[in-house]
Amino acid sequence: MDRGLDRVAVDGLYLATLGFSGWQLGNAAAIAAEEAGRPGLPTLRVENACASGGYAIQLAVDAVASGRRDVVLVVGLEKMTDVSNARRRYWLGVSGDTEWERLAGLTFAGVYGLMASRYEAEYGPVRDALTEVAVKNHANGALNPNAHFQKPVTREQVNSAPSVAAPLGLYDCCPVSDGAAALIVTRPEAARRFTDSPVYVVGSGVSSDHLAVQERKFITRLDASRSAAEEAFRNAPVDRKGLDFLELHDCFTIAELLALEDLGFAARGAAGKMTLSGATRLGGRLPVNPDGGLKAKGHPIGATGVSQAYEVFLQLRGQAGARQVGGAEHALTHNVGGSGATAAVHLFSVG
């Protein structure tokens, strides 16, 4: 049973947002506290590009675990659709390298397109697997009333879509979305005051990498994802085999395959085969992105990492409706900033 939470119990607030399109709003976290009916709260705006939400969750967990705060509100939000296409491209680009990438005209779709091309050169054709990621995540999004896209797409639609950055087409890309999500992070004993069925954060890891892709040793691996996972699993009471589903950062379809490998769920070059086997579908051995992922649920930058944890919260409490992963007790979220300069990984369990 949920007993609810009076807002006076909240004693801290983290706001995850890029501040897309240059709102020209400094001190935005203070405004969030005011809007939440708690002016005067200690607040912080967290900005680590698309990984802002994941980082904000770790800050909240640390604040509570250290005893400094008792009940922390984590909010993620982004408003992206109220600007022109040119301004949108500009604001999407600010989280990438300027000298070597932006000034050469490279967008994030372009960077992930290069990763996909290189992946094909190293491991062979990947188009079928990318298409499967898009079809699967749109099918899941169709079961999520909060998804940006709630319509399934066919393999033919994906394969005949306009090219965005070869080999990636329209359905290989996440959309530009508006959205917000919020969580309450508190101590286990305190959580029982509010609900009989809390969800526990049992592992938390964050990391970073060179901003410019050309500085990295590999472009078919996101090392920040690997090291964030290493931190999250260190001392965690659950291992990879114990997880029931994953929320992965599929900003582009190739990113879902790279994440399966970087996080240790598939061998290098084997994520495509795993995906094509149906293992990552709802009902498969290890469902990935039951909420539709960034691909179909949408990717409102600062909100994304928080919304992944919200999906885990619903799933682990058996409240995910038509997209419920049967008997889910343990799950992982993975949130990446830009092309992998930052990453956050969290592990959650019930009981």
Angstrom distance (rounded) from CA 140 to CA 324 = 10
Angstrom distance (rounded) from CA 35 to CA 49 = 23
Q: What separation in angstroms does the CA of 260 have from each of 87, 127, 128, 247?
A: 33, 16, 16, 11
Answer yes or no whether residue 298 interacts with ligand COA by CB under 6 A.
no
- Name the CA dihedral angle for 182, 303, 347, 207, rounded to a multiple of 10 degrees: -130
- With respect to ligand COA, which residue has the nearer C-beta, 41 or 92? 92
Answer yes or no whether residue 92 interacts with ligand COA by CB under 6 A.
yes
Site size for ligand COA (CB under 6 A): 15
Answer yes or no whether residue 233 interacts with ligand COA by CB under 6 A.
no
Answer yes or no whether residue 139 interacts with ligand COA by CB under 6 A.
no
8-state DSSP, 346: E
8-state DSSP, 72: E
| N-term to C-term CA, the chain | 14
Cβ of residue 249: shortest distance to ligand COA, in angstroms? Answer: 9
* Among the residue ranges 166-174, 191-199, 219-227, 264-272, the one whose residues contact ligand COA (CB under 6 A): 166-174
Cβ of residue 174: shortest distance to ligand COA, in angstroms? Answer: 5
Cβ of residue 85: shortest distance to ligand COA, in angstroms? Answer: 6
Cβ of residue 204: shortest distance to ligand COA, in angstroms? Answer: 22
Q: Annotate each residue in 67-86 with x if it binds ligand COA (CB under 6 A) or - if it does not, as one string.
A: ------------------x-
Q: How many residues does the chain have?
A: 351
Angstrom distance (rounded) from CA 143 to CA 320 = 9
Cβ of residue 104: shortest distance to ligand COA, in angstroms? Answer: 16
Angstrom distance (rounded) from CA 231 to CA 181 = 25
User: 271 near 279, Cβ under 8 Å?
Assistant: no
**Tokens matching residue 66:** 């250290």
Q: Annotate each residue in 236-255 with x if it binds ligand COA (CB under 6 A) or - if it does not, as one string.
A: ---------------x----
Fill in the amino acid letter for 346.
H
Helix or strand or coil: residue 51?
coil
User: 266 near 260, Cβ under 8 Å?
Assistant: yes
Answer yes or no whether residue 288 interacts with ligand COA by CB under 6 A.
no
Query: Which residue in the set 44, 83, 170, 202 belongs to the binding site for ligand COA (CB under 6 A)?
Result: 170
Fill in the amino acid letter for 260.
L
* Among the residue ranges 36-44, 51-59, 164-172, 321-329, the one whose residues contact ligand COA (CB under 6 A): 164-172
Q: Annotate each residue in 47-66 with x if it binds ligand COA (CB under 6 A) or - if it does not, as one string.
A: ---x----------------
| Contact set with ligand COA (CB under 6 A) | 50, 85, 92, 108-109, 164, 170-171, 173-176, 251, 299, 338
